[in-house]
A and B are shown apart, each in its own frame.
Chain A
Amino acid sequence: MSDSAVLEQFQRVGSDLFLAGLISSHGGNMSVRMGDRILITRRGSMLAHIEARDVVDIGLDENDSAVALASTEIGVHRAIYQGTSALAIVHTHPPYTIAQSLHADEIVPIDSEGSYLLHKVPVVACELTAGSAEVAALLPTWLKEYDIVMLRGHGPFAIGHLLEEAYQITSVLEMSSRILTVEQGLAGEAREYRKGSDRYETW
């Protein structure tokens, strides 16, 4: 993939993440793996307005001087690539998902699309949630089994073979969390409509 194609992809997804309310003005980060290199967003960049200088080229297995510019979460991205088959990672701060993560150890969608795509999303808790070695050590294990994992109070890390895949499941999770939140505020018991959904909790 050419540099301009990668940049275009980052720009399109980054803009969508912001417009969809999945990140704040300077929040979130994303990356793609290119062999033994990682292209990751620059620390503090605005994902809705990515320019060439906002995409940092850094080593996968070995650190180099680009670490002075790379996203705070470079250590987590690197660990995920080293421990999974992911080729793309999207990390966001979606509000409904964050709220749900404060109340449960897993998020089990009740809507059709979320159920179909996610089944359930584990919520992982750490003392230091931003750029921490603890998160880097923990997440790859979870992401071997799930395409998206929620870090309690912080945000999900989603993986895919394409940036758009990771973006999609992030978007689905937030929509499911939004529906859950709305549903939890309604009076009365919800009607069950998904055959076998009671087994999703052991998915």
Chain B
Amino acid sequence: MTAAWHGRGLRVDLSSAHGVDETLDPAIAHAYLGGRGLAAHLLLERGLWRVDPLSTANPLVFATGPLTGTGAPAAGRYSVSARSPLTGTVFDGNSGGAFGVVFKRLGYDYLWVDGALADPGYLLVGRGGAVDVREAGDLWGLDVPTTLARLRERHPLSEAAVIGPAGESGVLFASIVNNRGRSVGRGGLGAVMGAKRLKAVVVAGDGDLRPSPADEERFAFVVYEATKLLKANPVTSQALPEFGTAVLVNVLNQAGAFPTRNFRESQFEHAEAISGETLRRDHTRKRSACRGCSIGCARRTTSGGVSGEGPEYETIWALGADCGVGDLAAVLEASYACNRLGLDTITTGSTIACAMELGERGLLRGGPRFGDRAALAPLVAAIAAREGLGAELALGSRALAERHGAPELAMQVKGLELPAYDPRGMKGQGLAFATSNRGGCHLRANMLNPEVLGIPKMIDRFATLGKAGLLINLQNLSAVLDSLSLCKFTAFAMKEDYYARLLSAVTGVTVEPQELLRVGERIWNAERLFNLAAGFGRDDDTLPPRLLREPVPAGPSKGQVVDLAPMLDEYYLSRGWDDQGRPSARKLRALGLDRAAAGIVPLDGEATREAVAS
């Protein structure tokens, strides 16, 4: 193997506290890169689409990418994958900080965690695949910062990925957190970890297998050129460093794409009060960055004498505008609580917003109301503890709204709550949400760039047809970045040719940009196959009824709804899928997925017969 990959994974069975090395086939490494892509391949190949996500049979896959720790810009990330307890889809989340870099230096490309512990414990992984399961009775119940601090005391040079009380109690959107506030969020992989009674994964800090690019000189030059772009682009050199992602509050609000009060409106009258400018002026104390990142979008803030990490744009939106709360201090208090307890902030806020609308409609007796800032922090605590109303909210908005007879009030796709972009004001984003392989998510492909920021070029955000091709390219590129384990923020300034050059210099094998996008397409289709096998189909590639039928009442997007069906048809056609969203045999063959697809795509389709025959 090259410097990009060590060529091996470590498979640990918690039940026996035993680890074995697995060989990573170089062809698989090149075909799926690492991180999200490699994990999707492994989960598909091992047929895990039917496992109960909270059972011992659902593995957790921690993986780095070929650029992790190489010195490529913002390449310090790692991913965690499993079948999601919130969505039932294949799921990955990734996080920055230093965990990925430290893990990779131990000489492994991935860590596969099977089984469960009888009692709370944590997994310590050392050099040469040394595996030790330590007792964690004293850590169980502790919040995230305290757990990280205790582990840092015990293992000073190590890095840890931990869960908080929310993961322990099985909240379906519990996060895994490293480096204080760097979270693997969204789909509840923290609950998967909690179901294994695994409080933390600790990777020893004495690994010495630093990746060294095959062509050092070429690599240094590409990094130099890439850094030039990142420094020249105002988004990566000014907007994100100065304001963090919160810079988007005013931008999206002015565009009329800032969902407000559970997506009833798309502009928030108190946006300025919760904006990036206000956050910087009143609360930001210090900027910070993940290891190896020149952008530095993270920040430490304080409010009411308490300090914490973030919040990100989506957090401010979810706990702010979506709940009708225009008080940044209240948003920060709830955000800090989410981080401490290990909760995904988007789903937390969106589920509270759903409860607020249910309450206002009289469908949830005693439920909170929009604008009730005092309700936020107590509800966050109740969710993590699964107490009172929190026990209902802990299952996410879909379960909550169904239980109270109004499923249409859950702003989710495939069970995952939508983030802070109203697709009625950016139609391509609607298609992105509907077709995302992990549910309503902006990180599978964010049409924010072409529809609002003009990257690479500004397109008509209200147009519907003609966007599928652009979206597919962004989805494929997103899969590549998650698999290289690079931060997506680099894509504000860089294009696929830069990523191809970085990978080429590290591996010593020239990779063309179109080859890289083909890898992304393979990953996307592998995930699609997993989801098809898990029972998902065209009916799941949709949006909440509100976005399809309720026009935006006022503002720049007034009167708009999402006309999804024609966009979806165009998308399937452009993907090489049939009208039910199943990849054709030809497409599967071209991507080398025909064997993996056998038995997954229904047998009455021509595509499947061909695939099986081949």
Nearest CB of B to A193, in Å: 43
Structural contact, A69 and B232, CB atoms closer than 8 A: no
Structural contact, A44 and B276, CB atoms closer than 8 A: no
Who on chain A is nearest to B250 by CB?
Answer: A65
Structural contact, B458 and A53, CB atoms closer than 8 A: yes
Structural contact, A65 and B238, CB atoms closer than 8 A: no
Chain A 36-65 per-residue mask, 1 if CB under 8 angstroms from chain B, else 0: 000000111100000001000000000111
Given the interface pairs A44-B455, A45-B458, A65-B250, the reply to whether A131 lies near B233 with Cβ below 8 Å is: yes
Who on chain A is nearest to B276 by CB?
Answer: A65
Given the interface pairs A68-B247, A69-B454, the reply to whether A131 lies near B277 with Cβ below 8 Å is: no
In the assembly, what is the distance between CA of A68 and CA of B242, in Å?
A: 11
Q: Which residues of A contact B234 (CB under 8 A)?
A: 43, 67-68, 70-72, 74-75, 131
Structural contact, B239 and A43, CB atoms closer than 8 A: no
* Neighbour of A64 across the interface among B277, B454, B458, CB < 8 A: B277
Q: Is the interface of A mostly helix, strand, loop or mixed?
A: loop
Nearest CB of B to A37, in Å: 14
Chain A 108-147 per-residue mask, 1 if CB under 8 angstroms from chain B, else 0: 0000000000000000000010111100000000000000
B189 interface residue per 8 A CB criterion: no
Who on chain B is nearest to A44 by CB?
Answer: B454
B297 interface residue per 8 A CB criterion: no
In the assembly, what is the distance between CA of A26 and CA of B454, in Å?
A: 12
Chain B 273-297 per-residue mask, 1 if CB under 8 angstroms from chain A, else 0: 0011100000000000000000000
Q: Which residues of B contact A69 (CB under 8 A)?
A: 251, 453-454
Structural contact, B247 and A128, CB atoms closer than 8 A: no
Structural contact, B232 and A130, CB atoms closer than 8 A: yes
In the assembly, what is the distance between CA of A66 and CA of B237, in Å?
A: 13
In the assembly, what is the distance between CA of A42 and CA of B455, in Å?
A: 11
Interface residues on chain A, size class: 20 to 34
Q: Which residues of B contact A53 (CB under 8 A)?
A: 458
In the assembly, what is the distance between CA of A64 and CA of B455, in Å?
A: 19
Nearest CB of B to A75, in Å: 7
* Neighbour of B453 across the interface among A63, A64, A68, A133, CB < 8 A: A68
* Neighbour of A68 across the interface among B248, B275, B458, CB < 8 A: B248
In the assembly, what is the distance between CA of A144 and CA of B231, in Å?
A: 26
Nearest CB of B to A20, in Å: 23
In the assembly, what is the distance between CA of A131 and CA of B239, in Å?
A: 13
In the assembly, what is the distance between CA of A74 and CA of B248, in Å?
A: 18
Who on chain B is nearest to A131 by CB?
Answer: B232
* Neighbour of B233 across the interface among A45, A63, A66, A72, CB < 8 A: A72
Nearest CB of A to B271, in Å: 10
Structural contact, B237 and A131, CB atoms closer than 8 A: yes
Chain B 398-429 per-residue mask, 1 if CB under 8 angstroms from chain A, else 0: 00000000000000000000000000000000
Q: Which residues of A contact B456 (CB under 8 A)?
A: 44
Nearest CB of A to B402, in Å: 37
Structural contact, B235 and A68, CB atoms closer than 8 A: yes
Q: Which residues of B contact A43 (CB under 8 A)?
A: 233-234, 454-455
Report B's interface with A, CB cutoff 8 A: 228, 231-235, 237-239, 242-243, 247-251, 275-277, 453-458
7 A-B contact pairs sorted by A residue (CB < 8 Å): A42-B458, A66-B251, A68-B247, A74-B234, A128-B232, A130-B228, A131-B237
Q: Knowing that A42-B458, A44-B457, A67-B242 are A-B contacts, what are 9 other residue pairs whose CB atoms are under 8 Å apart, sorted by A's residue number?
A: A26-B457, A45-B458, A68-B234, A68-B453, A69-B251, A69-B453, A69-B454, A75-B237, A131-B232
The 3 closest A-B pairs by CB, nearest first: A131-B232, A65-B250, A68-B239
